[in-house]
Chain A
Amino acid sequence: MATAPTTANAAGLSWGPRALIQKLRSGDEIARIVTLIFALVVVLLTALLVYQLWINSAQSRHRFGFSFFWSTTWDPVANQFGALTFVYGTLVTSALGLLIAVPLGLGAAIFLAELAPRRLSDNLTFLIDLLAAVPSVIYGLLGVFILVPLMRTEIQPTLKRAFGFTPFFRGPAYGIGFLTAGFVLAVMIVPFIISVSREVLLAVPNDQREAALALGATRWEATWKAVVPYARTGIMGSIFLALARALGETMAVTMVIGNNPTISSSLFSPGYSIAAVLANEFSEATGNLYLSALIELGLVLFLLTFILNGLARLLIILTTGRGTGVSIA
């Protein structure tokens, strides 16, 4: 008894050969399998990448074991390597970058989605997207020529005068260092937050806004309390994109961070990040242990990203009461 396919439910748990053939005929099952394969390509590529990193860092892993994680020595001549200073630098600069970029980006996205006239909003966003295309090396150069002197002569001394009593704004003001790198990263990741958040905000159905306004909310309240929470997962997604870029940024960071493997609470201090040291030393590294240690650093960054992503998702799940019905994790 051939019936027309009634596969209205994508989960499609009806068994049996007849159902299967019907599903195949309708093309849904093929579509499901094909798209599944493409989705799994991502996993495959990443697994392959991790595999490469794993086997090429074997020499270093065997030599240093877990001490690689907490050692602060990085000496290519004596062949002693440790990751801690780079992990610190990566975390600090990315955190700074996000701290600056997220409020700025979200604010701009809200303006562009809710307040600005459509034409203006489209054109401005268009231009902001261009920021994502500026090559990393140009950001680095601009950082060196413009931001660094500005930091050294104006911004850092001002911060020191105002907040010098905290441990964050101490030490000589070279102009380069964690803070400068954080600023540069912020500029580089803000387009992702603005662009994606704005799209998601635009996609929020109008009835949400209208309902809030009908209840007497001000424009701001309607936006902040009705629209933004609805778009929360998309905004979070844009922050993940931004975080990822910040963690992996190489050229721009290495030009302004000072490239000195130090751990210091002061944001004025020069530092080093994993991606920066990879960019600096990979081409020139001769010597198998050296190369293997660099690749192990890549693996450490991967692990770091893994943990950070996990923590962020946990945070979202914990703070989301009802969610928007969309799976976020």
Chain B
Amino acid sequence: MSMRKLIGFALLLMLVGAPAWSQNINAAGATFPYPIYSKWFDEYHKAHPNVQINYQSIGSGGGIRQLMDKTVDFGASDGPMTDEQLKQAGFKILHFPTVLGAAVPSYNIPGVTVELRFTPEALAGIYLGKITKWNDPAIAGANPGIKLPAEDIVVIHRSDGSGTTYIWTDYLSKISSEWASKVGRNTSVNWPVGLGGKGNEGVAGLLKQTPDSIGYVELIYAIQNTLSYGSVKNSADEFVKASLAGVSAAAAGAANAMPADFRVSITDAPGKAAYPISSFTWLLIPAQIQDAAKRNAIKDFLHWMLTTGQQYCEGLAYAKLPKEVVAKEEKAIAMIQ
């Protein structure tokens, strides 16, 4: 180990870097919020020209790992860290929700241009491979009057580990005990059926190309790619189509029961207007930051994010944090020392 340290140090010393007149902060993590994060860091940089926050979207798991390896100053993840991961990190890590997102069931059925309604049982059945045709009663029952073809359903899922998969499988695990025991929830699972697309855009691409297909993508990808997506029946038996309002409603429902460390799943949330496949996405900040300048910059950014930052969300199809959550987070910032 020390030999490698020597080599590493020697290589770096040989080609030494330049002055740090600016505060350089490196961060890594989730791809889903990358558009809004890049907007935030850019706006923040305009307001504070000496702070450069360099965020790279290498994936939630990558973000967690880089944070644990201490190669970045903070991380970002679509799924909260597990207790086991927090213990493994060896130092205290705080979660700060930033925005909300939704995973939508998107489909491409030639001839069907209207919005379909999906029950939880239908979605679970399709992804378990038990419902194989579009005109299966489980799907047709919720969509009276719509002519569904007797074609095989082509199931599409994510091939790469992702927070979107985490949200989707988290939801399926909650509404289907068979899914929970057979497959479970994770950023990457052993899918019973289906083709794997790389990234949200890979799934969107496959959806567009493949007739009679169904897949899950982040709301913003469905909108940008003009994919058809359906409504989902929530815990209050209402069919809700994903929208910023529906996602915020899901978060508001969870706000009061929010644990102190903000690690909460809001899939299948209570409330009539709640969209059931919603989720927070978090920034992962170490509780202890040695470098005072860095610490202040990060804390200041968090304040900015909770106030000015939130106004950029809707323009990019992200749902804002509910007021109650914002208030709680403001208090939690003080925990960073």
Which A residues lie at the B interface, using CB under 8 A? 73-78, 80, 140, 144-145, 148-149, 152, 172, 174-176, 254-255, 258-260, 270, 272, 276, 279-281, 283-288
B159 at the interface (CB under 8 A from A): yes
Query: When chains A and B are docked, how far (Å) is the Cα of A73 from the Cα of B183?
Result: 12
A-B CB proximity, top 8 nearest: A284-B161, A259-B196, A284-B61, A259-B159, A75-B190, A283-B62, A77-B184, A283-B59
Query: When chains A and B are docked, how far (Å) is the Cα of A28 from the Cα of B128?
Result: 70
Counting contact residues on chain B (CB < 8 A from A), the size range is 35 or more
In the complex where A175-B210, A285-B61 touch, is A260 in contact with B188 (Cβ < 8 A)?
A: no
CB A45 to nearest CB in B, in angstroms, measures 12
CB-CB under 8 A from B88, the residues of chain A are 288
Query: When chains A and B are docked, how far (Å) is the Cα of A74 from the Cα of B196?
Result: 14
In the complex, which residue of chain B has the Cβ closest to the Cβ of A76? B188
Query: When chains A and B are docked, how far (Å) is the Cα of A65 from the Cα of B186?
Result: 25
In the complex where A74-B190, A77-B186, A270-B195 touch, is A281 in contact with B161 (Cβ < 8 A)?
A: yes
CB B262 to nearest CB in A, in angstroms, measures 19
Whether the pair B183, A77 counts as a contact (CB closer than 8 A) is yes
Task: Return the contact of A280 from the options B186, B198, B206, B210 (Cβ within 8 A).
Answer: B198
Query: When chains A and B are docked, how far (Å) is the Cα of A148 from the Cα of B213?
Result: 15
Which B residues lie at the A interface, using CB under 8 A? 58-62, 64-65, 82, 84-85, 88, 152, 154, 159-162, 183-191, 194-198, 202, 205-206, 209-210
CB-CB under 8 A from B210, the residues of chain A are 152, 174-175
Kindly name the residue among B62, B65, B196 whose own CB sees the greatest number of chain A CB atoms within 10 A. B196
Kindly name the residue among B82, B84, B154, B205 whose own CB sees the greatest number of chain A CB atoms within 10 A. B205
Query: When chains A and B are docked, how far (Å) is the Cα of A117 from the Cα of B205?
Result: 43
Whether the pair A284, B196 counts as a contact (CB closer than 8 A) is no
CB-CB under 8 A from A140, the residues of chain B are 198
Whether the pair A77, B161 counts as a contact (CB closer than 8 A) is no
CB B110 to nearest CB in A, in angstroms, measures 13
Query: When chains A and B are docked, how far (Å) is the Cα of A270 from the Cα of B198?
Result: 13
CB A197 to nearest CB in B, in angstroms, measures 33
CB-CB under 8 A from A280, the residues of chain B are 159-161, 188, 196, 198
Task: Return the contact of A281 from the options B58, B160, B184 (Cβ within 8 A).
Answer: B160
Kindly name the residue among A74, A75, A145, A276 whose own CB sees the greatest number of chain B CB atoms within 10 A. A75
Kindly name the residue among A73, A259, A270, A276 whose own CB sees the greatest number of chain B CB atoms within 10 A. A259
Query: When chains A and B are docked, how far (Å) is the Cα of A145 from the Cα of B205?
Result: 8
Whether the pair A284, B188 counts as a contact (CB closer than 8 A) is yes
Task: Return the contact of B59 from the options A174, A260, A284 (Cβ within 8 A).
Answer: A284
Kindly name the residue among B58, B194, B198, B210 whose own CB sees the greatest number of chain A CB atoms within 10 A. B198
CB-CB under 8 A from B154, the residues of chain A are 174
Task: Return the contact of A284 from the options B60, B190, B194 (Cβ within 8 A).
Answer: B60
8 residue pairs bridging A and B, Cβ less than 8 Å apart: A74-B190, A76-B187, A140-B198, A152-B209, A280-B161, A284-B61, A284-B188, A286-B187
Query: When chains A and B are docked, how far (Å) is the Cα of A71 from the Cα of B160?
Result: 21
Query: When chains A and B are docked, how far (Å) is the Cα of A78 from the Cα of B188?
Result: 11
CB-CB under 8 A from B161, the residues of chain A are 76, 280-281, 283-285
Whether the pair A283, B61 counts as a contact (CB closer than 8 A) is yes
In the complex, which residue of chain B has the Cβ closest to the Cβ of A137? B198
Task: Return the contact of A254 from the options B82, B190, B198 (Cβ within 8 A).
Answer: B198
Whether the pair A176, B184 counts as a contact (CB closer than 8 A) is no
Whether the pair A254, B187 counts as a contact (CB closer than 8 A) is no
CB-CB under 8 A from B152, the residues of chain A are 172
Task: Return the contact of A259 from the options B59, B85, B187, B195 (Cβ within 8 A).
Answer: B195
In the complex, which residue of chain B has the Cβ closest to the Cβ of A175? B209
Whether the pair A176, B190 counts as a contact (CB closer than 8 A) is no
CB-CB under 8 A from B185, the residues of chain A are 77
